[in-house]
Structure 1
Amino acid sequence: MDLMKIDTTSRSLSLDPRDRAFFCNPYPIYRQLRESVPVFKWEEYGYWCFSRHEDVSALLRDRRFGRQILHVMTRDELGWSEIPERLKPFYDVEQHSLLETEPPVHTRLRGLVNRAFLSRTVERLKPRIAQLTHELIDGFAETREVELLEAFATPIPITIIAELLGVPVEEGPRLLSWSHDMVAMYQARRDAEVERKAVEATLAFSSFMRRHVQARRLSPGDDLLSQLIAAEAEGKSLSEDELITTAILLLNAGHEASVHAIGNGVKALIEEGQARSGLGEGHVEELLRFDAPLHLFTRYALEDVEFNGLKLKKGETVGLLLGAANRDPARFPEPDRFDPARTPNPHVSFGAGIHFCVGAPLARLELNVALPILFERLPGLKLARPPSHRDAYHFHGLERLDLVW
């Protein structure tokens, strides 16, 4: 059976995002789509998708589209059924998320957290990231083999974001478990069991954060949670529910993509013959373009819109294929070639517009500090076996990365 079916007349695509051949290596499919139907209706998702860099970049910035729709349309107008009672705890938290809101709410929330993630602010974390990187490598350097995701790629971002936010680092395993269960709601493999675990994780995570907010109220520290509590106390329009959701989002987003940026990055550097000391910022930017951890970002049409000849009704969802846009030859010459000297490198791995990833400076710093140390400390690093990818589209990452040296 063919992996996908393209109908160029109706501009439709039938492709199971859970097909292993696709989620392990989606780039050949993206190339076919860009060449035959760069704008297409993905039948399995039910909405129009865009694969060219020009379109994706423009739509990320187009204010006629947004992440939120219920501020301009009712569920009835959208033809949506009511949220089942069993899922309300999850969506009650999500509705306050910085990622799911539009101005003016988004502007207010982003303004409160943005200062903590400015490049000049996160730069002070550089010595801590380096120290942590060395400590982790010390833990496995003598073994001559390692599963890198668990031993290295995961602990770095979860430790740094926990310390930045002001929650106990030793709670990392629980935070990771809750985060994975919540994020699974946005993956192609969602089912009743995924939904049940997401709700349980949401309730547990919310309870955990409320306890720590209460503790920080009594004993403020030099951390982001204390800053958010102070903003709430000063009447800067941050409710406790928004505070809890913001903290959960930062913990979730602060590690989920970074773990896979590190894993995908190390895999690419080894496979592309770049596994050596002397890695620079050009390598990191090219890694982010070459094999991004997020491949699909959705938005709603906030009004009736015509975009490049496609008429969209208010409330329709559009899918932006970030992974495909990053390999568009119209923007990136020889896009399947890994080129750390590529300039400019306007990849869309962090999004663009008002929803540009607030944590991008931190993610870049972690990669720029950790990867050079890894390859300097462990020369001769190579794959022990072919890496396996997660069944988790539209996230793109590895299940395991087994290395030897």
Structure 2
Amino acid sequence: MSILPPFLRIDRENRRVSLDARNPAFYGNPNAVYAALHAHCPTFYWEEQKQWFLTGYDHVNALLRDRRFGRQILHIASREELGLPEPEPQLANFDLAERFSLLELEPPEHTRLRTLVNRAFVSRHIERLRPEIAAMAEKLIDGFEQAGETELLSSFADIIPVTMIARMIGIPDEMGPQLLAWSHDYVGMYMFKRTPADELAADRAAQEFADYVKGLIAERRREPQDDLLSHMIHTEHKGQFLTDEELVSTTIVLLNAGHEATVHQIGNSVRVILESGLDPADLFRDASATERTVEETLRICAPVHIFQRWALEDVEVDGVSFKRGDKVSLILAAANLAPAKFTDPLTFKPDRQEAPNLSFGAGIHFCIGAPLARLELNTVLPMLFQRLPGMRIAAPPVVKDVYHFHGLDRLDLSW
């Protein structure tokens, strides 16, 4: 029987778990906690979060696809009926920006919005971006190769994903730093460490972000370009066009989802590869090996750990009864470590031929940007290791002090 870390308490009989998500020992190495949860209590009530969580692969995979659960609840019931509090006035701008987010909607609204943007993200269209991604990566590596060292997040990982998604939408490259700043503040709303200061920053970022996008929409209405925003503005679906509010929400979610997780994953992937002791020349020897390596990094160090669902009707899962309006959390990163699906799950093994990872979700909310993220990772990771042979970690990696995203603040490398 494994010994639990001192910051984790598990009441196995009652399926109750006590865990401080802000404890550095947890967010610095969540995989160790997930392994303990799999061993003792894979479905559990997290007392600090006041919510049920599932980590089992089959349960998480099934619930992501189960139409008895949804990303929203107020389309079928009122706040009063469900006993939910009224919206908080200090989050008015954030709530407005989120109102038509692809991540938060259910059909038919979700279907209409996703149909309008999905074409730009299918693999055959995304593949055309490979030379552009490669050229950007080459230029960035040129900038630090001779120095023999770099901090990878600021010099490389932060730049490529935000630049690519901004170009797709039709936003100038020079807006990259501002987009990063808005995005970092905005996604603070999704973190377990959320404070009043985080909420204030997120609401302010939402307002400034939305105002910028509204100005861009006005420009594209006057002068359409060959970009995704113009496509969304001028394309109809069953006789309907997107409203300005829908355009703002969709643009913000595409920008955030289109880069934030990929930034984390570039850093996570480089770290896990270097710490594995495996030969990068072998890991990236050809396109198939590269793809397997990328998928294994996504499995073992996913950038986004949790997605939540509302129970849209009374339903029982793994012996737990949920009432309509209950919220349940699915820990995707833990499902990726389920010992029932993956042998030696805490070990980095790119030659696995087991279950697919769930890092991009599943079902109708499967990550729309997955083809872009995979293309970026499959393009830039081999280039880093090929251009910088002998690359090694120069100082202990600094993990971001947030949960449920998982990424690095610093990754100092030398070669």
TM-score interval, smaller chain:
over 0.9
Q: 1:294 is matched with which residue: 299, 304, 307?
A: 304
CA–CA distance in structure 1, aligned partners of residues 129 and 238 of structure 2: 27
Q: CA shift at 1:234, angstroms?
A: 8.9
Displacement, 1:344? 3.5
Deviations 1:369-402 (A, max 9, x none): 0000111100001000110111110001111100
Which letter maps to 2:67? R
Q: Residue 91 of structure 2 aligns to which amino acid in structure 1? A: L
Aligned residue type for 2:85: S
Q: Secondary structure at the match of 1:100?
A: coil
Whether 1:335 and 2:339 are equivalent positions in the alignment is: no
Alignment of 1:238-317 (within 5 A): 238-274=242-278, 276-277=280-281, 279=284, 280-317=290-327
The 2-side partners of 1:121 and 1:14 are apart by 46
C-alpha separation between the residues in 2 aligned to 1:320 and 1:230?
A: 37
TM-score for the superposition, normalised by structure 2 = 0.95
Instruction: Write the distance in 2 (CA, Å) between the matches of 1:85 and 1:53.
Output: 38
Unaligned runs of 5+ in 2: 285-289
1:24 aligns with 2:28: yes
Amino acid in structure 2 at the alignment position of 1:63: R
Tell whether the 8 Å contact from 1:275 to 1:375 is kept in structure 2 after alignment.
no
Secondary structure of 1:176 counterpart: helix
> What SS is found at the alignment partner of 2:235?
helix
Q: Which has the higher mean CA deviation after the structures are superposed, 305-314 or 346-355?
A: 305-314
CA offset digits 1:121-157 (Å, max 9, x no partner): 1000000000000011011111111000011111010
Deviations 1:149-207 (A, max 9, x none): 01111101001001111011101111110111110001011111111111110110001
Give the direction of change, closer, same or farther, for the CA distance of 1:333–1:326 in structure 2 (3 Å limit): same
Partner of 2:57: 53
Q: Distance in 1 between matches of 2:75 and 2:216?
A: 31
Per the alignment, residue 373 of structure 1 pairs with 383
Q: Once the 2 structures are TM-superposed, how far is the Cα of residue 296 of structure 1 from its aligned partner?
A: 1.1
Say whether residues 1:391 and 2:401 are aligned partners. Answer: yes
SS at match of 2:132: helix
The percent identity for this pair of structures is 52
Alignment: residue pair count = 405
CA distance in 1 between counterparts of 2:42 and 2:233 reads 46
* Match status 1:352 vs 2:354: no
Does structure 2 conserve the Cα–Cα contact (< 8 Å) formed by 1:285 and 1:345?
A: no
One-letter code aligned to 1:335: P
**1:43 matched to 2:47:** yes
Query: 1:120 maps to what in 2?
Result: 124
- Residue 156 of structure 1 aligns with which residue? 160
Distance 1:4 1:185, change over 3 A: same
For residues 2-17 of structure 1, the aligned pairs below 5 Å read 2-17=6-21
Moved more, 380-389 or 334-343: 334-343
Give the CA deviation at 1:232: 5.4
Greater CA deviation, 130-139 or 84-93? 84-93
Residue identity opposite 1:326 in structure 2 = N
SS of match in other structure, 2:45: strand
Equivalents in 2 of 1:362, 1:220: separation in Å?
A: 24
Distance between the aligned counterparts of 2:344 and 2:41, measured in 1?
20
Q: 2:136 aligns with which of 123, 132, 135?
A: 132
Q: Aligned letter for 1:329?
A: P
Give how far 1:233 is off.
Answer: 10
Give the drift of 1:360: 0.2
Match of residue 33 from structure 1: 37
Provide the C-alpha distance between the structure 2 equivalents of 1:112 and 1:65, rounded to a whole number of angstroms: 24
Match of 2:99 in 1: 95
How many angstroms apart in 2 are the aligned matches of 1:139 and 1:325? 39
Deviations 1:37-70 (A, max 9, x none): 1110001111110111111111111110011011
